[in-house]
Amino acid sequence: MKRVHGGAIRIRVQRYDPEFQEQIAIDVEEKREIALKAVNFVGKNDVIFIDAGSTTLFFLEELSRNPPNTLTVVTNSLYIINAVAQSSRINLVVIGGTFQHNTMNFLDFEINPFLNRYNVNKAFLGVNGIDETGYYASNILEAETKKLICNACDEIYILASSSKHFKRSLVMIQEWTGRERIVTADLSEEKQRRFRELSNGKQVVVY
């Protein structure tokens, strides 16, 4: 364990990249609050995709404490793979592709045949930004991979800490479809207003 502001984190899931230790130690309380909300949307027999990112790792750590029966996690994140592999109560399916050192995950444009074999019903995404138009990633390969995954799922949960709110990144993953749920932490009055407008205009649910 490593002590950080707001609690402790498991050092063993960070050993591949020292920079990730700094990323996951930022906004710990906020990310933990998001994780606690997000686990309520996972149920028995679910097949869920968990994206790369520090907030999604907090989500997986919380989910691992008491996973629903017959839960399957599909992922392309090296950190999520490492964390799930430590739990005998969660089934693990790995998406392959070209390894990205900057994000520590595997990306591939040709994942449709893979997704067609598995009935992934929920996606839990990390993003680089969200605004009134849609949600964003840092590069085209990441954006296209996330879009393919979103198109294959019935429900899309975007785990977004405050640093991602109403911020654009390099590439749009896609515009809001009405299937998205934004899971975030306590909001200022101004952000509450903007999220209400987003929810009313795009039929996006905000938790």
Residue 6 lies in a domain: no
Residue 151 lies in a domain: yes
pLDDT of amino acid 100: 82
Q: Which pTM value belongs to this model?
A: 0.87
Query: Whole domain around residue 53: which residue ranges?
Result: 27-206
Residue 165 lies in a domain: yes
CATH of the domain at 70: 3.40.50.1360
Kindly list the averaged pLDDT for each block of 10 residues, start to end, along the chain of length 207: 40 50 70 96 97 93 95 94 93 89 80 82 96 94 91 94 93 96 93 94 93
- CB-count exposure of residue 52 (10 Å: 0-12, 13-18, 19+): buried
Interior/surface letters 73-82, b for 16+ CB within 10 angstroms, e for the rest: bbbbbbbbbb
Residue 16 lies in a domain: no
Angle value at C-alpha 175, between 151 and 93, nearest 5 degrees: 30
Residue 11 lies in a domain: no
Residue 138 lies in a domain: yes
Total domains, the chain: 1
